[in-house]
Amino acid sequence: MADPLKDSLTGAEALVATLADNGVTACFANPGTSEMHLVTALDGEPRIRSVLCLFEGVATGAADGYARVSGTPAMTLLHLGAGYLNAGANIHNAGRANTPMINVIGDHAVPHLQYDAPLTSDIAGLAGPNSLWLKSADKVEETGALASEAYAASFGPKPGPVSLLLPADSAWLEGGVKGDVVQAPSLNQVSETDIKAAAEAIAKASNPVIIINGTALSEPGLQAAARLKTAGVRILTDTFYAKMRRGAGVFAPERMQYFAEGAMADLEGSDLMILAGTSAPVAFFSYPGKPSLLVPEGCDVLELGDASTDSAQSLTALADEMDASEAAPVESLIEPDAPSGDLTAQSVGQSLARHMPENALVSDDGVSNGLLSYLPTQNARAHDWMMLTGGAIGQGMPLALGASLAAPDRKVICLSGDGAGMYTNQALWSMAREGADVTTIVFVNHSYRILNIELYRTGAGNPGPTAKNMLSIGGPDIDWVQLSTSMGVPAVEATTAEEFDAALADAIAAPGPRLIAAVVPG
């Protein structure tokens, strides 16, 4: 805590103490010269755990994972505009996950900005598009009040990343005043009128479907969804979501397909689409001759609240309005036999379903191979699954780091493609340093496999040597065992299903970080 015997706080001390007073308990940092006074302020604040990250994208991805699990925003500490840009991809992902996050970005001292030093940039211009709220504490007296404001703004009511710029002189000067402990805004509630309208629309529809996200993917939300399922409403989740409870004892909704043509074929015949905690589904990319908006012709769309809404409450109210008292069956526990033979993505999923412990957390950045782990674990022990919502790969390991520090009593399993993992492999170093209980599985195929699929789907022509080389990450092949052990995380390679199953059992049983390089077909 800030020294109570001091006559006055620095601006950095006021900012940090205010965030701690409001319940912020973690800071993921990659500081530079302009943040030195923030570093010393954190040194004096025991309520906030400060975690050094060797790359800014690890810091923001970890803050995302921390908040998804804890429900409380973490603070990041970023160095000027260049640091923000390095952090940007996982800030984008957090925004698409509606994750509260407080990005504290150091800036040059206000009088120094006029000289256009080499690291000077328009930070507000860079950070603005990815920030729900952005202000700069240009006066030391403002630091505490703006920290309170930033904390509240990160909750929305549509939650997401916010940015608080702290010029170096506002950090070092005395005269800081702690901000208030604030009441964060709650998610919106859908009106009774809208609930009645949805129930009436369902009664008139032949093939209604409801697409859910947000709090609807919690256990209470899924219990309400199970009642709607029995009442004749098809339940789908978005293709990607921030976190969902699943496994034995939990109702399992269907999942929107990724490819546009598959999604449209799956939705064919639907005449009513209700959206709860989400927006109308769109294709991830545009393809020649394929739709962008994934709503069948003649299907009415009814919005029952977007991501700013408590969708679990919406589903419960809707089920009550429809007198839907009976619930669809929940999943039962199925423990598969040990896999054998060649190691494939399917056998990795089979082993996961065998060994995943109760209440595990899964961070899925498995790209093309992740789906084959997702399907068999539907009947694994109850757990939470977290996805790459924004599509910017390189989230998996940082997200797992943050999730583990938020819930140290829970095993975290990270699924990562080898290409995705190379974006933020520095997260392994932070896992080792912090003793994070994360088992990382890297699908090693020495290829951007998803891009090979997309090359065909976009109709970009037959790839020649140059195109093929741009989609391959072999030659030289990345040695994940050496890379991981060099950063302090014990690692093994598995090339057969038997080797992987044994390695996974060992990693799950051991505390602390472990990595398995799962060599699967490319």
Cis ω on the peptide bond leading into residue 208 (within 30° of 0)?
no
- Joined together, the tokens standing for residue 339 give 């896999």
Sign of CA dihedral 363, 364, 366, 372: positive
The pLDDT assigned to 457 comes to 61
Task: Catalogue all structural domains in the chain, each as residue range(s) with its CATH number.
Answer: 9-176 (3.40.50.970), 192-321 (3.40.50.1220), 345-519 (3.40.50.970)
- Is residue 384 within 8 Å of residue 245, measured between CB atoms? yes
- pLDDT tens, residue by residue, 255-296: 999 988 999 999 999 999 999 999 999 998 888 888 899 999
The pLDDT assigned to 458 comes to 67
- pLDDT tens, residue by residue, 147-169: 999 999 999 989 999 999 999 99
Residues in the chain, overall count: 522
The pLDDT assigned to 517 comes to 98
Strand ranges across the sheet with 300-303:
254-255, 234-237, 208-212, 272-276, 300-303
Q: What is the largest CA-CA distance in the chain?
A: 72
Q: Is 254 left (phi over 0), alpha (psi -120 to 50) or beta?
A: beta
pLDDT along the chain (522 residues), means of 10: 69 98 98 95 97 98 98 98 97 98 96 92 96 98 98 96 98 97 95 98 98 98 98 97 98 94 94 97 87 94 96 98 96 96 96 98 92 95 97 97 98 96 97 98 82 64 72 87 98 98 98 97 76
CA distances from 193 to 9, 190, 316, 317 (A): 51, 8, 15, 11
- pLDDT tens, residue by residue, 310-322: 999 999 999 999 9
Q: What is the 3-state secondary structure (H, E, C) of 137-183?
A: CCCHHHHHHHHHHHHHHHCCCCCCEEEEEEEHHHHHCEEECCCCCCC
Sign of CA dihedral 333, 336, 338, 341: negative
* Entry pTM: 0.95
The pLDDT assigned to 285 comes to 85
Q: What's the whole-number average pLDDT of the chain?
A: 94
The pLDDT assigned to 288 comes to 84
Count of other CB atoms within 10 angstroms of residue 467: 15
